A and B are shown apart, each in its own frame.
Chain A
């Protein structure tokens, strides 16, 4: 007897599937998800989850959140991040402490895995949503994330 119920269920499920795709077909004209790049280059905006490249945001005083802890450098599976740091005297407390000199990021080696951003204890680095990353020379892909003359925001290490 399951023979006939198999046929019935088979037809029913096939029709369910067809009604779903048929619905998409009818709505396709309005809900098309295709971006006609580069025609809409001016207006195209990437969604928040998009992983363009790793950047380090700076506030208006040219201060960032990076303490130089090197978590990101250790977390990166393919060595795309190098932190150049040294110990300097903190002008406020007068103590010696670790500070970054350069946060070097090799975009050409990065696989966009996001582990560095996950591992950063102070959320100093985030994803940027830019998508036109091609350049004519490999050297442009090695970037220094902290801006020249920037310093760590006070109190971030506490």
Chain B
């Protein structure tokens, strides 16, 4: 297995100069894995903090402001607390599945994060079916949720998990179709190539104008549903189901579910940035020629913008009922999406792209 690792050529060359090839490759894998785990933890923790701050500002509150300046260490303290907590469980659980479930959820989001091109060089895994891979991996998470609900032996958890199943299966379709609409435009599934297309022709949301904007809206709605966030958080609807599928979990296992939700949000936002907003490309190409400029800054800024949009949704809209959820998907999003796909095909056929 030879995974192309493009993270900074210098480290790569340096490693290969001081070690035999086999050892160097393994060392490189370990370094990359460690870097991504660190990234994962930092992203997860700070998205939680950001969410709490943004939520506070939407509700005219102050948010966490005690631990460190402006509360920036609050989520670290929370994580430490969760690590040190006892892992409780009730006696009637299915032990094996109960312990397995959190890892499904967290691993699926960890794997997905590996294929994103954070900058020209910073991409662990540049496979030529990138979008397809992301799409496949992001569906695995729901197995973890179903397992968690089933193995907890608790009616509320079970209902939550079943809701998650039906929600993910329905909205997967919309996510996939809206991604497909954009893939029509790029002609490639490889993430780095999708960004290359946008370097010359402008961001895809501008290139594809009307159908691209429709696809973006559908992607945002379906993507929010994919991450099980409000207004689609039927899975853990606090007022109805306790905490939903993770009612029976405590300590670090709960933290895994909790972090995975935020990482998934990051993943959905990253897909949106790559597919619609040019990934790490700068607006109007202002820094594209400056070689030393860290392009990942643009990536992060765009991702934060999309994430802010999702938080805005969360703190504005009320939760949907299950029947409303399904009506929205099968009666509205899916037909619009199919029409949109055809529209995009016609626009490309007639060469009406900008």
- Measured CB to CB, the residues of A under 8 A from B are 7, 14, 17-18, 20-22, 24-25, 27-29, 31-34, 36
Contact = CB atoms under 8 A, between A and B. Distances in A.
A34 B58 CA distance: 13
Interface string B52-63: 001011111110
Interface in B124-165: none
Contacts of B56: 28
B60 A31 contact: yes
Interface in B302-331: 312-313, 315-317
23 contacts: A7-B336, A14-B317, A17-B316, A17-B317, A18-B312, A18-B316, A21-B58, A21-B312, A21-B316, A22-B312, A24-B57, A24-B59, A25-B57, A25-B312, A28-B56, A28-B57, A28-B58, A28-B60, A28-B61, A29-B57, A31-B60, A32-B60, A32-B61
Interface residues of B, number: 15
Interface core residue of B54, B57, B58 (most chain A CB under 10 Å):
B57
B352 interface: no
A67 B25 CA distance: 93
B314 to A, nearest CB: 10
Nearest to A14: B317
Nearest to B57: A28
Interface core residue of A25, A34, A36 (most chain B CB under 10 Å):
A25
A36 B312 CA distance: 25
Interface core residue of A28, A29, A36 (most chain B CB under 10 Å):
A28
B332 interface: yes
Contacts of B60: 24, 27-28, 31-34
Contacts of B57: 24-25, 28-29
B332 A7 contact: yes
